[in-house]
């Protein structure tokens, strides 16, 4: 990723972490994925924001691409699980099992994932799909 793309990514992430609304940051990640279409992190973030903005079809496409680019990324697989649930698509169990396998091999990342799921419930209270995924992962 070039410096300007990294800069835009870092700035957008900082704004998100500072509490900016998902809808405000979504255009930045659309631009990031246009500028760097092979960057998995951009697609993972875009899918998450699309889910927060109740755009499940768009999130499904973004999450599938993120998983294709980075199959070992548990957040990408969680996003794909959520998008599959929200679009009544098949394949959720496979994604959850992959996340569980990654957590078994790298338990140190579970705190980050738990934090992301908690953030999702704060930003989108009552998010049924996220509550299901959280319980399946025993978070």
**pLDDT value at position 3?**
63
Ranges of the chain with pLDDT below 70: 1-3, 5
Helices (H), 18-109: 22-35, 40-52, 56-69, 74-86, 92-105
Tens of pLDDT, residue by residue over 34-58, are: 999 999 999 999 999 999 999 999 9
Provide the pLDDT for residue 7. Answer: 87
State pTM to two decimals: 0.93
**pLDDT score of 6:** 78
Burial tier of 103 (Cβ tally within 10 Å: 0-12, 13-18, 19+) = middle
Q: Give per-residue burial for 27-55: e unless 16+ CB within 10 Å, then b.
A: ebbbbbbeebeebbbbbbbbbbbbbbbeb
């Amino acid at each position: 990723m070039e410096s300007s793309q990294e800069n835009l990514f870092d700035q957008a992430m900082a704004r998100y972490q500072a509490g900016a609304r998902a809808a405000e940051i979504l255009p930045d990640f659309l631009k990031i994925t246009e500028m760097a279409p092979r960057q998995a992190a951009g697609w993972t973030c875009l899918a998450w924001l699309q889910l927060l903005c109740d755009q499940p079809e768009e999130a499904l496409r973004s999450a599938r691409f993120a998983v294709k680019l980075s199959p070992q990324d548990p957040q990408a697989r969680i996003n794909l699980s959520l998008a599959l649930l929200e679009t009544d698509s098949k394949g959720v169990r496979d994604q959850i099992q992959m996340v569980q396998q990654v957590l078994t091999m790298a338990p140190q990342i579970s705190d980050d994932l738990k934090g992301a799921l908690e953030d999702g419930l704060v930003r989108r209270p009552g998010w049924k799909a996220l509550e299901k995924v959280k319980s399946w992962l025993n978070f």
